[in-house]
Structure 1
């Protein structure tokens, strides 16, 4: 008589993984709504029969995933879902967010003609010191500050943009609809940074808060650079998303043509 070999022993996941999984499922399913106060560490310890160190490890992982956030002296709360913009299509911020049902409002902080700094002139293919229009706007998503947008345009296009309702309209749409300039493509460079005092004030965050920094150079349909921007997004409220295909060939030069970093 033969007997079957014993089944391999199944190892239960670490306790902190089970705590994290239970809380994550509650958040992602909607049972724990945004801004809901989570049970205290002591309550979670009692609920799961875990040590405080184990509970803190689970909470730290969830915080790193952006699913929860802490308020000093008040506890741990469920994060609101981040707004996102796909970068596989050339769209203005309001254009993309409105399509997702968000309301957008812009606060114009500065609009003036300035001599083009060296990096701006290089991006727009102008001589250094050539007059350009510089526009600073705080972008509000559902009435909460989400980004600071700093834009430079050749002076002729800047005059058209300056006449538009910049509190409600994207610069892209003004260029297309008012200036009659068909847009072609844009190149982007994205990195992480810490907010300086001016950026922090515009975004309603503390100085030194993590932000997403984007440098974008937009060209018209003929390949001429017409719009150079630096965009600063709150890292806790927004993300860029993109699709990557395995077999699409692109040279590094075509993807990252900008010189230097922001």
Structure 2
């Protein structure tokens, strides 16, 4: 089996193949989480993450307390996925790694505390990392976590592991959803130094907040991409038989980063 960091991807790909090859019919129930855990010899959080990705891809739907069911593949689906940096790099054929700049407790940041929905006087854990694709500085991350989650990172090797890895695989806290905001900014001196670019060069800023069960905020992150190495591509689809396509616009099929090699 693949490394611990990609177990959920292994489970997802196996189930996806079973579904797309027609081994399950539309509306058919998948095996229970317990059976999938036993079959793949993985934890329940790994199975839940794989199922969440299949649901995000529109291949399955879930009924609370009943189970997961196969979607009609002819139906319109939203294929936007929530991925972490190592997954993005692997899909791009690049080797992911990180350079840890700092990991420390910091004073409250009004904007961040509000986003994380924690007390305004609560100190946070801040992680600054350069994200590398095959040795090149592709992105620079500043991540804030509530102390309950952040303290889990202090004994971990964040040069080879992602926060997703640690939170999900080791502590079985599933990252189930997230919100993204994409803007363009001019890099200040600190960001420019980390990305080996000039101050005031344009960078792509991705603000993302990841959530776990009960819509609880796990971390808020500002990622700064060097546009020389990454661009975002949007894929739209249109069902000519749909009466709503012209009124509601084209449904988003895929929105994903593309990396230069």
Stretches (4+) displaced over 2 A: 240-249
Task: Specify which of 144, 162, 173 is matched with residue 152 of structure 1.
Answer: 144
Q: CA RMSD in A?
A: 2.0
TM-score normalized by the length of structure 1:
0.59
Tell me which moved more, 224-233 or 87-96. 87-96
Q: CA deviation at 1:245?
A: 5.5
Task: Specify which of 102, 113, 121 is matched with residue 110 of structure 1.
Answer: 102
Q: Look up the SS of the partner of 1:222 in the other structure.
A: helix
Aligned length: 164
TM-score normalized by the length of structure 2:
0.59
Indicate whether 1:97 and 2:97 are aligned: no
Indicate whether 1:239 and 2:231 are aligned: yes
Q: Give deviations 1:91-131, integer Å, cap 9, x for gaps.
A: 11112212332011211111101122111110110111202
Q: Is the Cα contact below 8 Å between 1:194 and 1:211 reproduced in 2?
A: yes
Matches of 1:219 and 1:244, distance apart in 2: 26
Matches of 1:209 and 1:187, distance apart in 2: 26
Task: Specify which of 117, 124, 133 is matched with residue 132 of structure 1.
Answer: 124
Q: Is the Cα contact below 8 Å between 1:181 and 1:220 reproduced in 2?
A: yes
Q: Is the Cα contact below 8 Å between 1:200 and 1:209 reproduced in 2?
A: yes
Matches of 2:194 and 2:102, distance apart in 1: 12
Task: Specify which of 206, 223, 243 is matched with residue 215 of structure 2.
Answer: 223
Where do 5+ consecutive residues of structure 1 fail to align? 1-86, 250-262
Q: Give deviations 1:50-75, integer Å, cap 9, x for gaps.
A: xxxxxxxxxxxxxxxxxxxxxxxxxx
Where do 5+ consecutive residues of structure 2 fail to align? 1-78, 239-243, 249-261
Show the 5 A alignment for 1:178-257: 178-244=170-236
Matches of 2:236 and 2:147, distance apart in 1: 36
Q: CA deviation at 1:149?
A: 0.3
Q: CA deviation at 1:156?
A: 1.6
Q: Look up the SS of the partner of 1:200 in the other structure.
A: helix
Q: Look up the SS of the partner of 2:215 in the other structure.
A: coil
Q: Look up the SS of the partner of 2:214 in the other structure.
A: coil
From the CA coordinates, give the structure whose radius of gyration is larger.
1
Q: Look up the SS of the partner of 1:109 in the other structure.
A: strand
